[in-house]
Amino acid sequence: MVAAAVLASPALAGNGGFAPVPPESPNAQGIHTSYVFISIFAFAIFLLVEGLLIAFVIRFRRRKRPRYADGAQIHGATKLELTWTVGPVLILFAIAAFVFAKLPGIQNVPSASAGTSNLVVDVTGTQFTWQFTYPNGVVAFDSMRAPEGRTVELHVTAPDWDVIHSWWIPALAGKIDAIPGTVNKTWFRAKRSGVFQGQCAELCGLFHAKMLASVEVMPADEFDAWLAQSEQQQDAGTGPLGDEMWEATCAKCHGPTGEGGYGPKIAGTALVGDPQAVEQVIRNGFGTMPPVGRDWDDNEMTAITTYLKENVGG
């Protein structure tokens, strides 16, 4: 028993998934508040219904009445019937009114305030990767960076050739679908620095479970410095972009070192040593492999082909 209690404690840490994670953005706070409000009503109704059920079982039990004899017939309680009809209507109205009052603050992207502008990041979901494109052209994969205290506006989509995904970082905002050919918008404004985890919330294929995402929130000045440095590195063809693209896009199917997995082994093959051949496969797809890099620009393509040639080609 003691061992079971000890093992149960970590499982219940962070409410065990019963309630939303602590909100770290105003719209996430709106979702959390709505959840608590609805949960209070649901719990109160549960107690009322179960309490009445137990009371009726005790009050109208058979006692000494013969087993097959009908109990006393009760009818004509008009006030009670009106109460259990009107009560639920009023409860549903109160919940709907509260949710619709909260919804604009959750869904609508706030306007830029004086002296600052929203940071617009394009979020593209593909099997099985998240790609983030910043206003200056900097690209990141699976792990997004954002400034603390500034509104980040996300334009979420998926390529025409892909399937539907769903962007979700529970601590920062609600779910928003990445639909091929359609741009949906959401936002967050992180209250503090830290790393917030999430994942694709739409079953999108065999490796859906590997389509994880994270947002690293940092002080605004550190973020600006990182964004400027990343732009210089990507323009110069240096930096970690190739490694990020390999881990996010290739290694999930072909194995961490290219040894093979769901996809075939590519380590040491002639293909990965030929940048032109790699580009053709990445842009056009091959067999069951989708065209994961159809929309990648020259810098991105150079980064991944160089990484493959130097680290996987053998």
Q: Do residue 203 and residue 273 come from a single domain?
A: no
Q: Do residue 127 and residue 221 come from a single domain?
A: yes
Q: What is the pLDDT of residues 8-50, one digit of tens each?
A: 444 444 566 677 789 999 999 999 999 999 999 899 999 999 9
Kindly state whether residue 112 falls inside one of the protein's structural domains. no
DSSP 17: G
What was the pLDDT predicted at 14?
52
Q: Do residue 210 and residue 245 come from a single domain?
A: no
Kindly state whether residue 195 falls inside one of the protein's structural domains. yes
Q: Do residue 282 and residue 255 come from a single domain?
A: yes
What was the pLDDT predicted at 163?
95
Instruction: Kindly state the tokens that stand for 239.
Output: 């930096």
CATH number, domain of 288, equals 1.10.760.10
Confidence of residue 114 (pLDDT cuts 50, 70, 90): low
Chain CA centroid to CA 270, Å: 38
Kindly state whether residue 221 falls inside one of the protein's structural domains. yes
Kindly state whether residue 223 falls inside one of the protein's structural domains. yes
Q: Do residue 138 and residue 230 come from a single domain?
A: yes
What was the pLDDT predicted at 314?
67
- The full length of the chain comes to 314
Domain boundary among 183, 207, 236: 236
Q: Distance between the two ends of the chain, CA-based, in angstroms?
A: 54
Q: Do residue 150 and residue 164 come from a single domain?
A: yes
CATH number, domain of 199, equals 2.60.40.420
Q: Is-contact 264 256, C-beta < 8 A?
A: no
Q: In the predicted model, is pLDDT for residue 117 greater than 90?
A: no
Q: Is-contact 175 168, C-beta < 8 A?
A: yes
Dihedral of CA atoms 85, 91, 94, 100 in degrees, nearest 10, equals -100
Number of domains into which the chain is organized? 3
Q: Do residue 136 and residue 213 come from a single domain?
A: yes
DSSP 265: P
C-alpha to C-alpha distance for 192 and 209, rounded to whole angstroms: 28
Query: Vertex 137, ends 136 and 142: CA angle to 5°?
Result: 120
The parent domain of residue 260 ranges over 241-312
Q: Do residue 101 and residue 148 come from a single domain?
A: no
Give the residue carrying structure tokens 């053998």. 314
Q: In the predicted model, is pLDDT for residue 4 greater than 50?
A: no
Which SS3 state, helix, strand or coil, does residue 217 take?
A: strand
Q: Do residue 297 and residue 271 come from a single domain?
A: yes
Q: Do residue 208 and residue 258 come from a single domain?
A: no
Q: Do residue 101 and residue 124 come from a single domain?
A: no
Q: Do residue 225 and residue 138 come from a single domain?
A: yes
What was the pLDDT predicted at 9?
42
Kindly state whether residue 210 falls inside one of the protein's structural domains. yes
Between 137 and 9, the more confident residue is 137
Kindly state whether residue 215 falls inside one of the protein's structural domains. yes
Q: What is the pLDDT of residues 15-26, one digit of tens each?
A: 666 777 899 999
Q: What is the pLDDT of residues 251-266, one digit of tens each?
A: 999 999 999 888 899 9
Q: What is the pLDDT of residues 65-112, one digit of tens each?
A: 887 888 777 777 888 889 889 988 999 999 999 989 988 888 888 887
Percentage of residues of the chain with pLDDT beyond 90: 65
Give pTM, 2 decimals.
0.84
Give the residue carrying structure tokens 């979020």. 123
DSSP-assigned beta bridge partners for residue 122: 133, 155
Kindly state whether residue 65 falls inside one of the protein's structural domains. no
Q: In the predicted model, is pLDDT for residue 212 greater than 50?
A: yes
Between 129 and 63, the more confident residue is 129
Q: Which amino acid is at 36?
A: V
Q: Which amino acid is at 280?
A: Q
Between 217 and 312, the more confident residue is 217
DSSP-assigned beta bridge partners for residue 185: 155
List helix spans (H) across the chain.
2-11, 26-59, 78-107, 220-236, 241-245, 251-254, 275-284, 298-307
Kindly state whether residue 86 falls inside one of the protein's structural domains. yes
What was the pLDDT predicted at 73?
76
Which SS3 state, helix, strand or coil, does residue 135 take?
A: coil
What was the pLDDT predicted at 15?
60
What was the pLDDT predicted at 301?
94
Domain boundary among 236, 255, 284: 236
Q: Is-contact 114 156, C-beta < 8 A?
A: no
Dihedral of CA atoms 292, 298, 301, 302 in degrees, nearest 10, equals 180
Domain boundary among 236, 271, 294: 236
